[in-house]
Amino acid sequence: MSAGPGRRPPRHWMDLAPAERVDAVRAMGLPAFRARQISTHWFTRLEDDPTGWTDLPAAARERIAQTLFPPLMESIEELTADRGATVKTAWRLHDGSIVESVLMRYPHRTTICISSEAGCAMGCPFCATGQGGLQRNLSAAEIVAQVLHGARLLARGAVPGGPARVNNVVFMGMGEPLANFASVLAAVEELSRPEPDGLGISARGLTVSTVGVVPRMRRLTEAGLPVTLAVSLHAPDDELRDELVPLNQRFDIDAVLDAAREYARVSRRRVSIEYALIKDVNDQAWRADLLARRLAERGDRGWVHVNLIPLNPTPGSRWTASRRQDEKAFVEHLERHGIPVTVRDTRGREIDGACGQLAAKVNSDPARFPMAGRTGP
Ligand code: SAH
Ligand code: SF4
């Protein structure tokens, strides 16, 4: 199956827009209405084996399975934490690349964090994913498949708390979503498209996180989908941000914040500013004041919200999370300027919950993960 890293994945039902699915079944000599039947099995009933879809002609089922539902990835490691409420999955893609997704169940909602690329080209020095470079972009199907897997786990009651649905999807796993724009946009459309043609997750429950690829932020604005935009800022001054987020050397803080402000204006969605607090690097009170000023000068404070993330130290890194009192002071300084702020919970720390850390471990120690594994979507 595998022919080395970087090879494009096979075309899958989830890569196709609804009209293309009709074309695909017609190309197999089947009537158009079969497309809707197939999608109902796949997206509404969350069934994974076309050969068992008995309302389809027996002779066609095997062909449908082979040509429209090729295997995309296999789950090679599934780790749980928080008494089963957090489930982290490491996936091996058809070319051997590894990505990960994390399902987090809370009392009243369930969020899944997914990957948009195998690796990432952006090279942020505090991020495990950034250290390995980019292997390749994921296809729309590979992105949606991660959510589908979570939806299946929840539907069959495999996550404690009874059957449930995915409410939120955040593109905060491996990769820079806006660097893989076409596939991410197609995935977002499919996730939010009503059943049976998609998973029917409200676009408001989808969050695309970017490091600040300004031209693509503008394209996302023009696309007019009401997804939430998260911007990973991490520093309020270009001098420090140039170091923490190398892309800042191309698109500086003013450019990124202007594009974020414009997104908020057009989408009428509050933008989330992500800020990983790193001890003695970016957690000084004066930086909180500067951050607040730069956000407040772009209009009334309702356009934005700051989400502070305690740094999850990556192996071998000289950086670590801020002291408790510095984190508290940072929050207070933002609040003093009227900026809404929250501190992100740190679900799944003991299972390498942070961006790219599980996959980084798998990549560095392939012996731990034998080829035999459960098959994914
Ligand atoms: N590439 C996108 C989305 C994936 S990273 C982006 O950077 O926004 C998702 C989030 O995890 C980003 O806000 C990123 O800055 C953060 N992150 C990466 N490594 C981290 C670490 N070691 N500790 C805490 N947050 C981290
Ligand atoms: Fe890529 Fe985001 Fe990690 Fe930066 S923080 S290297 S953009 S995944």
Residue 63 domain flag: no
Query: What is the token pair recorded at 305?
Result: 């919200």
Which residues does a 6 A CB cutoff place in the pocket of ligand 2?
Answer: 120, 122-124, 127, 129-130, 175-176, 211, 232, 355
Residue 347 has pLDDT above 80, yes or no: no
Average pLDDT over residues 86-115: 94
The pLDDT assigned to 365 comes to 46
Average pLDDT over residues 191-217: 97
Residue 89 has pLDDT above 50, yes or no: yes
pTM of the full predicted structure?
Answer: 0.94
Question: 190: Cβ–Cβ under 8 A, 6 or more apart, which residues?
Answer: 14, 140, 144, 197, 198, 199
350 CA distance to ligand 2 centroid (A)? 21
Tell me whether strands 98-105 and 110-113 are parallel, antiparallel or unpaired: antiparallel
Average pLDDT over residues 31-46: 98
The pLDDT assigned to 368 comes to 38
Residue 230 has pLDDT above 80, yes or no: yes
The total domain count for the chain is 1
Closest atom of ligand 1 to CA, residue 174: 4
Place of tokens 């911007």: 231
197 CA distance to ligand 1 centroid (A)? 31
Residue 183 domain flag: yes
User: What is the span of the domain harbouring residue 183?
Assistant: 108-355
172 lines ligand 1 (CB under 6 A): yes
Task: Please tell me the number of the ligand nearest to residue 177's CA.
Answer: 1
140 lines ligand 1 (CB under 6 A): no
Residue 12 domain flag: no
360 CA distance to ligand 1 centroid (A)? 14
Query: What is the token pair recorded at 295?
Result: 């956000």
Query: What is the token pair recorded at 191?
Result: 């996730």
Q: What is the DSSP string of 165-176?
A: ---EEEE-SSS-
Residue 74 domain flag: no
Output DSSP code: residue 43.
Answer: I
189 CA distance to ligand 1 centroid (A)? 23
pLDDT digits (tens, 9 = 90+) for 211-221: 999 999 999 99
Residue 255 domain flag: yes
The pLDDT assigned to 377 comes to 44
Residue 93 domain flag: no
Residue 361 confidence class, pLDDT cut points 50, 70, 90: low
Query: What is the token pair recorded at 10?
Result: 């096979």
**Would you say 201 and 225 are in contact if contact means Cβ atoms under 8 Å apart?**
no
Output the domain CATH number for residue 314. 3.20.20.70
Residue 299 domain flag: yes
The pLDDT assigned to 374 comes to 32
Residue 50 domain flag: no
Q: Give the residue whose CA is nearest to atom 6 of ligand 2.
A: 130
Mutate to test the pocket of ligand 2, among 176, 251, 309 (most ligand atoms within 8 A of CB): 176
Residue 51 has pLDDT above 80, yes or no: yes
